[in-house]
Amino acid sequence: MGFRLSKIYTRTGDAGETGLADGRRVTKDHPRVEAMGEIDTLNSHIGLLIAELQQLTSQHPELNDVIEVLEPCQHRLFDLGGELAMPDYQALQTTEVERLEQAIDRWNEVLGPLENFILPGGSKLVAQAHICRSLARGAERRCQHLNAQEPMRKVGLAYINRMSDLLFVAARIIARHQHVSEVLWQAAPKHVE
């Protein structure tokens, strides 16, 4: 990926199309562009989560572990976006999926089995991690939609799927490190009629 932007605006997209690296012009709502956009949105929100985590590491140094797991994810999501923009480009490796799985397993050992449904909340950080999780699910849906029309590499699909799993467990481990209670779902009270 030696290409660098020297000019931010090109005026070539004003008519609702954008160019892919293989020379194709596609509409800005093409499934490939939609997937790229959702991955970019997820990446931006992970950046916000990391920035928020960094502000609290002096009070909760154990949050550094979450940062160390998430920081490479931003780069790998950028790689996945690159693969979408340049269909012949291959950057993601299965070792990255395995890295996410190892972090999930390590955190789950600390957390123990999940016994209730959890709602986003408890702290701003926990809620932000859940926003990232839900954005990862949206990005996965967009990637699967694209995959049905133009097959994607399996590693990219696996990576975005594991990202949402990782972010769910990250939300839980953040709550634990912050010593805040998770917000547990409560069934609506049953009314006798």
**Cα–Cα distance between 28 and 82 in angstroms, integer?**
16
| pLDDT value, residue 97 | 98
**Window from 16-25, 41-50, 64-73, 119-128 with minimum mean pLDDT:** 16-25
Amino acid at 50: I
| Domains, the chain | 27-179 (1.20.1200.10)
Q: Which residue has the higher pLDDT, 11 or 53?
A: 53
- Output the DSSP codes for 66-109: HHHHHHHHHHHHHHHHHHHHSTT-----HHHHHHHHHHHHHHHH
Structural contact between residues 53 and 127, judged by C-beta atoms closer than 8 angstroms: no
Q: Please give the C-alpha separations between residue 80 and each of 89, 92, 134, 143, 151, in angstroms, as whole numbers.
A: 9, 7, 18, 10, 14
Q: What is the pLDDT of residues 95-138, one digit of tens each?
A: 999 999 999 999 999 998 888 888 888 899 999 999 999 999 99
Q: What is the pLDDT of residues 40-53, one digit of tens each?
A: 999 999 999 999 99
Beta 25-27 vs 17-19: how paired, if at all? antiparallel
Mean pLDDT of the chain: 89
Q: What is the pLDDT of residues 150-166, one digit of tens each?
A: 999 999 999 999 999 99
**Cα–Cα distance between 176 and 126 in angstroms, integer?**
10
Q: Above pLDDT 90, what percent of the chain?
A: 68
**Cα–Cα distance between 100 and 159 in angstroms, integer?**
8
